[in-house]
Amino acid sequence: MMFGPMRYIGNKQKLLPFIRSALEALGMGSGTACDPFAGTAAVSRFLKRHGLAVTCGDLMQYSYVLQRATVECDVWPAFAGLKDVVRERPLSLGAVLRHLNRERPARGPVYRQFSPAGPHGRRYFTPRNAAKMDAVRETILRWWRGGGGGRLTEEERYILLASLLEASDRVANTTGVYAAFVKTWQPNARRPLRLLPPPLVAGTGRRCQAHRADALDVVINLGPVDLLYLDPPYNTRQYAAYYHIPELLASETPFPRLRGKTGLPPMDGKRSDWCRPGACEEALEALVALAPCRHILMSYNSEGIIPAAAIERIFKTHGRPGTYRALRQRYRRYRSDLDGQNRNYRGDVVMEVLHYVEKRRP
Ligand SMILES: C[S@@+](CC[C@H](N)C(=O)[O-])C[C@H]1O[C@@H](n2cnc3c(N)ncnc32)[C@H](O)[C@@H]1O
C-alpha cells in the first residue's frame, strides 16, 4: 500500500477497467460528465483522462482538495512564488515536495490530538510523523495565507495539501478508516512521512470544476451533461465520522473542539441521507429525476442499503423505455477486522453493479 491510492471505502480505482468498458460500450470518449460523489476523485480523473470535461463534487473538504488538485487544475504548477525559498532547480513539484520533506518536525495540533504524545494518547500517528505533518501543513498555510508573501497560487496550495493528505494516509495507524486506531504500531505507521506528487491530470485543455456541496445541489445547478456518474455511499457508515482526520487536515482553520476516544469534530451538516436506510431511496429518486443528463451510470454494491429492485424501478421510471441495463462484476474485497489487535483479513467476494439508463427527454 506504500504508493497506492488513498485507502477509502468505495474507492473505484480498481474498478476503472469495468467503468471503462461501460463507457466504451456507450461510445463515450468525449463530451461532459458529472461525478457528484467524487471521494478520492479517482473516477473524475479517469473521466478527464478519457476525454470528458468533468464537474465533480462531494460533501467532504478532503475530497474537494483532491478534486481541485487532480481534476479542476489543468496546468502544471510552476511555484514561481517559491523561487527564493526552494533552492533546487528546476523548481518543480518534486523539488518543492523534497523541500517540505526536509521540514523540521514542529509540535502542533496533529501531534497533540492524534499522537500518543498528546494528552489523549490517540495512536493514529507516531509523534514524529504527527509533528512532521504539523510542520508541513503550517508551512503550506503560511506560504498560502500571505504570511510568507502569498507565495502559492490556489492550485499550488491544493496540490501540496493533496500530497499531504495522501502521505498521511499512508502512515496512519488504522485498518483503513479513522473510526479507530490500532493499539500497536503497524509497519506502515512506523515509516517516515513522505510527500509524493499527487496524480495530476494537466494539459488536457478540458474545463473541469470541483465543488464541496451536496450532490443534489451540484446536479440542480448543472448545465446539460452527457454522463451523470453516481457513486453514492452504500452503507450506513458516515464518511464524516470515518475520515475525520483527513477532513481536519484539509481545512485551513484551527482544529475545533474534538471529543471522544478518536477525537471527533462536530459533524457540521456532513451527515448524509445516502447512509440512512429510511432516506437513501428518496434521495436517489430526486437526483435521477432532476439530473439534466443524457446517460446515467451508477456504481452500487450488492450489499448496498438501496435494494437493486428499487434502483431498477427508479431508473426505469425516469429512463427511456428499453434502455435500462445492469452490468455486474465480481471482485474480491479484503476487509480488515477493526476490533482485532492483529489485522485479520477476510476475503469476500462482492458483486459490483453498474446500473445504466438513458434518461427520458423532458
Ligand atoms: C462510495 S464514495 C465515492 C468513491 C469515489 N468514487 C472514489 O473512487 O473515491 C461516496 C462519496 O459520497 C460522498 N457523499 C456522501 N453523501 C453525499 C452527499 N449528500 N452529497 C455529496 N457527496 C456525498 C462521501 O463523502 C463519499 O466521498
Tell how far the Cα of 7 is from the centroid of ligand 1, in angstroms. Answer: 14
Instruction: Show the cell assigned to 131.
Output: 509533528
| Look-up of cell digits 481541485 | 68
Query: Residue 105 forms beta bridges with which residues?
Result: none
Give the model confidence (pLDDT) of 294-336 as tens digits.
Answer: 999 999 988 899 999 999 999 999 999 999 999 998 877 655 5
pLDDT at 60 exceeding the cut of 50: yes
In contact, 96 and 79? CB cutoff 8 Å: yes
| CATH class of the domain comprising 1-65+207-233+272-362 | alpha beta
Residues 172, 245: contact at Cβ < 8 Å? yes
pTM of the model: 0.95
Parts of the chain belonging to CATH 3.40.50.150: 1-65+207-233+272-362
Output the CA angle 109-180-347, nearest 5 degrees: 140
Please report the pLDDT score of residue 340 as a whole number: 43
Which pLDDT score is estimated for 347?
A: 61
Q: What is the number of helices (H) and of strands (E) in the chain? A: 13, 7
**pLDDT tens per residue across span 215-227:** 999 999 999 999 9
What residues contact 255, with CB distance under 8 A and at least 6 apart?
109, 113, 248, 265
Q: Which residues line ligand 1 (CB under 6 A)?
A: 8, 10-12, 36-40, 42-43, 57-60, 63, 214-215, 231-233, 239, 272, 274
CA distance 253 to 162: 16
pLDDT (0 to 100) of residue 333: 66
- Residue 5 is predicted with a pLDDT of 72
Q: How many C-beta neighbours within 10 Å does residue 342 have?
A: 8
**Which tens digits make up the pLDDT trace of 92-151?**
999 999 999 999 999 999 999 999 999 999 999 999 999 999 999 999 999 998 655 689
Which residue lies with its CA nearest to atom 3 of ligand 1? 39
Q: Which helix (H) or strand (E) holds 70?
A: none
Q: What separation in angstroms does the CA of 63 have from each of 6, 19, 67, 251?
A: 11, 20, 6, 11
One-character DSSP codes across 220-272 = HT---EEEEEE----SS--HHHHSHHHHHHH-SSPP---BTTTTBPP-TT---
Quote the ligand 1 centre to 239 CA distance (angstroms).
8
Let me know: does 162 contact 66? Beta carbons within 8 Å: yes
